[in-house]
Structure 1
Amino acid sequence: MLNHLFSPKKINQCEIPNRLAVTAMVSNYCNQDGTATDRYIAYHEEKAKGGWGLIITEDYAVNPHAMGYKCIAGLWNDEQIEGHKKLTDTIHQYDSKVFCQIYHAGRQSNSTVNGGVQPVAPSAIPCPWNREIPHELTISEIVQIVGEFGDCALRAKKAGFDGVEIHAGHGYLIAEFMSTYVNKRTDKYGGCLDNRLRFVKEIVENVRQKVGSDYPVTIRFSADEGVPGGRDISESRILAKQFEAWGVDALHVSNGVYGSHNKGTVAPMYIPHAWTIDFAAEIKNIVDIPVFTVNRINDPYMAEGILEMGKADFIGMGRGSLADPALPNKAKNGEFSSIRYCIGCLQGCVGALYTDSPLACLVNPSLGREWELNYTPVSAPKTVVVVGGGPGGLEAARIAAVKGHEVSLYEQKGYLGGQFVSAAYPPSKGEFTTYTAWIIDELDKLGVDIHLNTEVSKELLQEIQPDTIIVATGGTPMLPPIKGIYKPHVFAAEDVLLGNVPTGDKIVIAGGGEVGTETAAHLALQEKEVAVVEMFPTLMKELDSVNRFNLTKILNEYEVKQYTETKVVEILDDGVEVENSQGRFILQADTVVLALGYKPNNTLVNELKTVSDNVVVVGGALKTSNALHAIREGFDAGISIK
């Protein structure tokens, strides 16, 4: 059924065993000197074990000041080769091929991560995220960087990589030279397209000269930069033809540059799946070398369809490989329901990069920890009781069962998933159900004993006498002392999202965080008149800038009224009295929704400690948190049971 997906194809003389590629994504798992760590190697090895045809490692810096993140790889000196040779030797134990992506971050860097120097660029225009004014490169500095790209590629070849990918996309240095969005030069490296392509042409020539004609050299570039003044597909068609003429062996067609308004580089859940494949298809129509497509492709059937339509030759799944490194093998074996799909949340992957932290994944808490984890079943299984069926409890139960323990899970409600169930109801978040459905299926296969509609008591656990109790009861909505808060038309956001309660046509939501604004969007799509009231100066302050931008677009399009720095004074029978710098006024409402945050639901903890000496509290039951932390804490609690 997936005949195209699992057919081999050559890039230059290198045969890739299937069409699924792990596209480069910053992991921050290396040492600060660019050398490989055991963590970095094991992270990539997990993907090779999982059956990916090609693994493209991320962002190898061509010099010590080319880094966009503090702990990325580098091949700017010969001493770095040995550790990265260990990586390629490890990958080559499997069928996968591995390419080394080489790059210079350009202005998309800052002095705290690139060795303490000013970033560089073709022109002195700051990056929207990093915001340091870059140094405008001189001709002699450009020539030096060209040679550094070639030297880096040669070291990659010596380190055993099967090919190199020149990163000329996503707003990094090469992309900056190619685009009038950043390049305002008037010398031979600026102005007309030929001049703007001179830098990348010299790099390709230098790389080819040093690695030889039979070594795969590919280029990743943005077909559409997605910003005012950026390059679009009209110039990218020209780029593609030029790259092919210069001897590039494959084209990796991506999109975007850095910036919160840009949907290109790593598209959030608000962006449609496979939304850029037509760019790749246009490029494929005019070249005779293989073409990669990427961006929000997370399903093997989707990937097969793209290949079947002839829109690309290889399918890149960066985040899909994070969520489930074994996706190819599972797809090949027809085990589609066992695939842990990427949900497009950005919390662990892109979210980590905002703080220059190591890569993480909400649905895969083992990511980046492959080198230290041991899944071997224990010799003496324990009796484990998990209290609470939210994300943290489900993950604790799953991994404890994987380790061979006898696990029972008790949930007070009639369904599993906790707040992650209602989290799937707002617009564009429906894929959250794939994680909940996946883990419930896994628990069934592992034989975890599930008890729904069951309230756990001290007496129940005294009867069971478990060796370990994991409390994952989550949080309960906060109810501050607002006059009228217990009126019959006042409901919790979770109940509104789940459809447990009816809502009128005029709705005021108290609380403008993630839950409140997503509930507002959910109700606004039902064409109800919605207002959000928030005490802080900004809405959804806990969201990253990309998701905030996209959610704000929905609120604005559906005319949700937004009142910041505004306090709810009293809930009336037909409205809400609020107060801000303009004074007190009344917002008309026939329904009031509370989204004022959560407090830990840990009332059971002390009582349960009288039953067992081994009581572990995770997730929202410990402190207010999110699913990323709850799942990680649940995993840690489950796997650490001896």
Structure 2
Amino acid sequence: MEDVTMKNNFKHLFSPLTVRGMTMKNRVVMMPMGSNFAGHDGELSDEHITYYELRAKGGTGLIIVENICVKYPEGSNGTTQLRIDKDCYIPRLYKLTETCHRHGACMGIQLNHAGASAMSSRTGMQPVSSSVLPSKPGGELPRPLSKEELEGIAADYGAAARRAVNAGFDLVEIHAGHSYLISQFLSPTMNDRTDEFGGCAENRARFCKMVIGEVRAAVGPRVPISLRLSVDELVEGGNTLEDCLAYLEYLNDEADIFDTSAALNPSIQYQIDANYLADGWRSYMARAVREKFHKPSIAIGNIRSPQAAEDILEKGDADLIGIGRGLIADPDWCAKAARGDVCDIRKCISCNIGCVGNRIGGNRPLRCTINPDIIGGEAYKKRNISKPCRVVVVGAGTAGLEAACTAAETGCTVTLLEKQDHIGGLSVEISKIPDKKRLADFPDYLKHRAAGLDNLTIRTGVDATAHTVKSLRPDLVVNATGSVPLLPPITGLHESLADKKADVYSILDLIQNIDRYPEDMSGRKVIVIGGGAVGLDVVEFFAPRGADTTIIEMMPFIGNGLDASSTSSMKECMEKHSVTQLVNTALKKVTPHSFLVEKDGQEEELPFDYGFVCLGMKAHAPIWDELTKAFEGEDTALLNIGDSVRARRIIDGTDAGRHMVLNTLEQLGYL
């Protein structure tokens, strides 16, 4: 019966594919993504195995495990990275493949040498590369590798591939993109050699060809080799799609699958896709490679929807669909798509906070904004309550919805109270900004999830009071009333915001009037106070419309706390649209049509057509004190979660909505 359902729902996506000695049951490939789950010695952890098993159990056809180091410490990347440079790593890797194979998934692993992307602070040595050019602006200067060293590294790839096959992997992938070592030879932005490894396309491809040759000799004729590429590097002076097709002439013979990625370190927003990029926007790259070399290609790039994946396959753009963050967000993506339960899919919103922000720069383990348990999955649903429990949740934003659904899924009787006439909170409002529209997918998912729970009642249009809550006789009250814009007592600010004739606005004013702004705003002057995420949303709305845009920040830099992808996207926007950036600059006074600012002790008045004050958000918990007094001395437990505690990000509220609720129910003896 299951096979019939799969054929009826997205028949191309759920058709098998055989490449050399490997047969995949469907066309979905989990892309290799760093996790920081490994031990400090590069050993595969129990977390790793559980994490990948969950995606295998969820129906993924091929899982390509995150990049693994072939030469340590010289080639290591990330805070904690898997290693395969010694035989001692084989047993744990075998445990992983054995576990995932039992769920029907094929298993691949990505072999990598970081080259100039390694950091001496972690490796204790100068990075190595094709030449002395860094892998990103301001990066460490590497030393060029000799021919003898290159031959040794190619042999390291071969030895690593042999270990991978011994560990049970069905496929090995060679990472030749994303500013890692092989990419540093292929890209003219990092290779200025004048010997046989530099200059023309054939020479720049020579090292990669050596690596492929060593890997093929090691794995034999029955194991497929995937080659991951930055097909279009999307940087000035870098390889274009046409350049990639030219150098692939020298790499085609032994490669079986082309994993068609994009970008380098300076253009990382096109490698780890920014949220405004369309579903499957890179599929033209996969099509071009496929059409020239007649070998399977993997299309990737913000593919969240099963229908988008099906369309790519049906059009012949690719043979395989690469999903990365989408499988972090929902390990059951394949199973749900196969059943036709598309509305149940927790679709990635490409916020890049828990996945990119945690790892790159943050040095923390992988997490997800919309999936509060990427390792345990939905195991919590098996923990049913042992006695009746009534829960009242105040506030139906994403934190409150997660809390309400979690409590209901364990068997509690839940009432969710919302002041507005709709649910979803601030996420729904922010998603009205065109570049943030995917954010709406998360509250939409939560609404659908809540609608399927008979023991969850949602009451909108209720301005909750302690009396209202108490009348429901709760055993647990969860306050999740969210946040409001931070508007400090700056002279003239509150008066100007209240004055309809003034040109001063908050982020909520922008959202509420989003359709009133013309596409062409040439000649209009926009000034934004606040260089955090909220202020940047405003800049990225007006600057592409031609407005003369200025952003002002009191700190020494703009974009504090942004992930690497968002930071790169921000810099691109600022440069492309000539946005004026004033840092170390404080707002002193607001008039209806100007801001008075101070920089280095000097004051300046800046007139505008539109002035936005975006100094972030602050906690909003109007009835919390009332609740604590009303339930003082009673058995009812109280929780304050999400932005109503401290204005942060969606990821913090989602995590609290799941785990604080579960932990509290356990402490109270209900689980």
Tell me the TM-score normalized by structure 1.
0.93
The match for 1:98 is 107
Could you tell me which amino acid in structure 2 is paired with residue 440 of structure 1?
A: K
* In 2: Cα distance, 1:472 partner to 1:622 partner: 8
Out of 8, 14, 39, which is 2:47 matched to? 39
After TM superposition, the structure 1 stretch with the greater mean CA deviation from structure 2, 497-506 or 284-293, is: 497-506
The match for 2:521 is none
Residues 17 and 258 of structure 1: is their aligned pair in 2 closer, same or farther, counting only changes over 3 Å? same
State how 1:308-347 maps to structure 2 within 5 Å. 308-347=314-353
The match for 1:411 is 418
2:404 equivalent to 1:397: yes
The match for 1:384 is 391
* In 1: Cα distance, 2:157 partner to 2:545 partner: 54
Structure 1 unaligned residues grouped into runs of 5+: none
The match for 1:636 is 659
Q: C-alpha displacement at 1:380, in angstroms?
A: 2.6
Could you report, residue by residue, the CA deviation over 1:207-259 in whole angstroms, capped at 9, with x for unpaired residues? 111211111222111111222332222232134343332x2221111111112
Out of 268, 271, 295, which is 2:274 matched to? 268
Residues 29 and 177 of structure 1: is their aligned pair in 2 closer, same or farther, counting only changes over 3 Å? same
Q: C-alpha displacement at 1:206, in angstroms?
A: 1.4
Out of 109, 119, 135, which is 1:110 matched to? 119
2:626 equivalent to 1:618: no
Could you report, residue by residue, the CA deviation over 1:97-116 in whole angstroms, capped at 9, with x for unpaired residues? 11111111111111344x43
Kept in 1: contact 2:205–2:251 (CA 8 A): no
Kept in 1: contact 2:131–2:193 (CA 8 A): yes
The match for 1:299 is 305
Could you tell me which amino acid in structure 1 is paired with residue 114 of structure 2?
A: A
Could you tell me which amino acid in structure 2 is paired with residue 442 of structure 1?
A: R
Could you tell me which amino acid in structure 2 is paired with residue 497 of structure 1?
A: I
The match for 1:125 is 133
* In 1: Cα distance, 2:242 partner to 2:545 partner: 39
Could you tell me which amino acid in structure 2 is paired with residue 204 of structure 1?
A: I
Could you report, residue by residue, the CA deviation over 1:123-180 in whole angstroms, capped at 9, with x for unpaired residues? 1222227822223222332222111111111111111111111111111111112222
2:98 equivalent to 1:89: yes
* In 1: Cα distance, 2:516 partner to 2:171 partner: 59
2:469 equivalent to 1:461: yes
After TM superposition, the structure 1 stretch with the greater mean CA deviation from structure 2, 497-506 or 85-94, is: 497-506
The match for 2:4 is none
The match for 1:427 is 434
* In 2: Cα distance, 1:532 partner to 1:333 partner: 48
The match for 1:228 is 236
The match for 1:492 is 506
The match for 1:601 is 620
Kept in 1: contact 2:269–2:568 (CA 8 A): no
Residues 552 and 18 of structure 1: is their aligned pair in 2 closer, same or farther, counting only changes over 3 Å? same
Residues 130 and 485 of structure 1: is their aligned pair in 2 closer, same or farther, counting only changes over 3 Å? closer
* In 1: Cα distance, 2:16 partner to 2:379 partner: 33
Kept in 1: contact 2:357–2:564 (CA 8 A): no
Could you report, residue by residue, the CA deviation over 1:40-79 in whole angstroms, capped at 9, with x for unpaired residues? 0111111111111111111011122222113222211111
Could you tell me which amino acid in structure 1 is paired with residue 148 of structure 2?
A: S
Residues 424 and 187 of structure 1: is their aligned pair in 2 closer, same or farther, counting only changes over 3 Å? same
* In 2: Cα distance, 1:501 partner to 1:213 partner: 59
* In 2: Cα distance, 1:503 partner to 1:16 partner: 49
Could you tell me which amino acid in structure 2 is paired with residue 433 of structure 1?
A: A
After TM superposition, the structure 1 stretch with the greater mean CA deviation from structure 2, 511-520 or 326-335, is: 511-520
* In 1: Cα distance, 2:647 partner to 2:316 partner: 48
After TM superposition, the structure 1 stretch with the greater mean CA deviation from structure 2, 581-590 or 199-208, is: 581-590
Could you tell me which amino acid in structure 1 is paired with residue 481 of structure 2?
A: T
Could you report, residue by residue, the CA deviation over 1:409-444 in whole angstroms, capped at 9, with x for unpaired residues? 122222222221222122311111111111111111
Could you report, residue by residue, the CA deviation over 1:341-379 in whole angstroms, capped at 9, with x for unpaired residues? 111111111112222221111111111445986643233
After TM superposition, the structure 1 stretch with the greater mean CA deviation from structure 2, 285-294 or 550-559, is: 550-559
2:251 equivalent to 1:243: yes
Q: C-alpha displacement at 1:539, in angstroms?
A: 3.3
Could you tell me which amino acid in structure 1 is paired with residue 618 of structure 2?
A: K
Could you tell me which amino acid in structure 1 is paired with residue 394 of structure 2?
A: V
Out of 367, 375, 387, which is 2:374 matched to? 367
DSSP-derived class of the 2:64 partner: strand
Could you tell me which amino acid in structure 2 is paired with residue 271 of structure 1?
A: L
* In 1: Cα distance, 2:159 partner to 2:580 partner: 56
Q: C-alpha displacement at 1:191, in angstroms?
A: 3.0
Residues 381 and 93 of structure 1: is their aligned pair in 2 closer, same or farther, counting only changes over 3 Å? farther
DSSP-derived class of the 1:615 partner: strand
The match for 1:206 is 214
Kept in 2: contact 1:110–1:130 (CA 8 A): no
Residues 130 and 509 of structure 1: is their aligned pair in 2 closer, same or farther, counting only changes over 3 Å? closer
Tell me the TM-score normalized by structure 2.
0.89
Q: C-alpha displacement at 1:553, in angstroms?
A: 4.8
* In 2: Cα distance, 1:497 partner to 1:524 partner: 16
Kept in 1: contact 2:202–2:247 (CA 8 A): no
DSSP-derived class of the 1:229 partner: coil
DSSP-derived class of the 1:512 partner: coil
Kept in 1: contact 2:474–2:636 (CA 8 A): no
Residues 501 and 279 of structure 1: is their aligned pair in 2 closer, same or farther, counting only changes over 3 Å? closer
* In 1: Cα distance, 2:514 partner to 2:17 partner: 52
Count of residues paired in the alignment = 639
Could you tell me which amino acid in structure 1 is paired with residue 536 of structure 2?
A: T
After TM superposition, the structure 1 stretch with the greater mean CA deviation from structure 2, 578-587 or 34-43, is: 578-587
* In 2: Cα distance, 1:508 partner to 1:128 partner: 31
Residues 437 and 609 of structure 1: is their aligned pair in 2 closer, same or farther, counting only changes over 3 Å? same
* In 2: Cα distance, 1:530 partner to 1:129 partner: 25
Kept in 2: contact 1:395–1:439 (CA 8 A): yes
After TM superposition, the structure 1 stretch with the greater mean CA deviation from structure 2, 524-533 or 408-417, is: 524-533
* In 2: Cα distance, 1:12 partner to 1:44 partner: 24
Kept in 2: contact 1:42–1:371 (CA 8 A): no
* In 2: Cα distance, 1:500 partner to 1:117 partner: 52
Q: C-alpha displacement at 1:535, in angstroms?
A: 2.5
The match for 2:146 is 138
Kept in 1: contact 2:26–2:61 (CA 8 A): yes
Out of 203, 224, 227, which is 1:219 matched to? 227
Q: C-alpha displacement at 1:332, in angstroms?
A: 1.4
Residues 48 and 130 of structure 1: is their aligned pair in 2 closer, same or farther, counting only changes over 3 Å? farther
Residues 234 and 496 of structure 1: is their aligned pair in 2 closer, same or farther, counting only changes over 3 Å? closer
Kept in 2: contact 1:274–1:297 (CA 8 A): yes
**RMSD over aligned Cα, in angstroms?**
2.6
Q: C-alpha displacement at 1:181, in angstroms?
A: 1.9
* In 2: Cα distance, 1:477 partner to 1:105 partner: 42
The match for 1:541 is 560
Structure 2 unaligned residues grouped into runs of 5+: 1-8, 519-523, 667-671
